[in-house]
Amino acid sequence: MKRLVLIILSIATAFALLAKPPKLNVESLFDGRFNSNKSVTISIYKNNGYFYRGITVKNNPDIIKKIANAIEKDIPRASNYSDYQGSDSQYTSLQIINNGETIYIGLQRDRYGGAFFFIQGKEKAFK
């Protein structure tokens, strides 16, 4: 009987661990710190079970560096990572699996001092 209880508790614990929120570093970028900054535009959409957040930055290399640093910290959790450098832009993308769903993260930086960052996926991936 004790063995059966132990097995059930182990299975319940495993499911609880699988259902943890991802707690990504990039999610902290939406804590309100950029809300009053005129060089930043923030977009947040929730529709039909999908969640999208984006930040557009114009002429603010400090904020772009903060975004890039947050992405860098999340790279070890990525199931897929790519970084592409072209003549006038750089693009970084990550895919992170959580709760059986994929979270897509991307950052496009241009040579003119602008950037576009996004994080998106099914709502289940963020729970």
Mean pLDDT per 10-residue interval, the chain, length 127 residues: 49 46 84 92 92 94 94 94 90 94 95 92 89
CB 63 within 8 A of CB 14: no
Q: In the prediction, which pLDDT does 111 show?
A: 86
Helix boundaries (H) for 1-127: 2-18, 61-74
Q: In the prediction, which pLDDT does 2 show?
A: 52
d(CA 90, CA 22): 26
d(CA 114, CA 30): 18
Residue bearing tokens 């005129």: 38
* CA distances, 29 to each of 12, 19, 55 (Å): 32, 22, 9
Q: In the prediction, which pLDDT does 90 show?
A: 93
Q: Specify the pTM.
A: 0.80
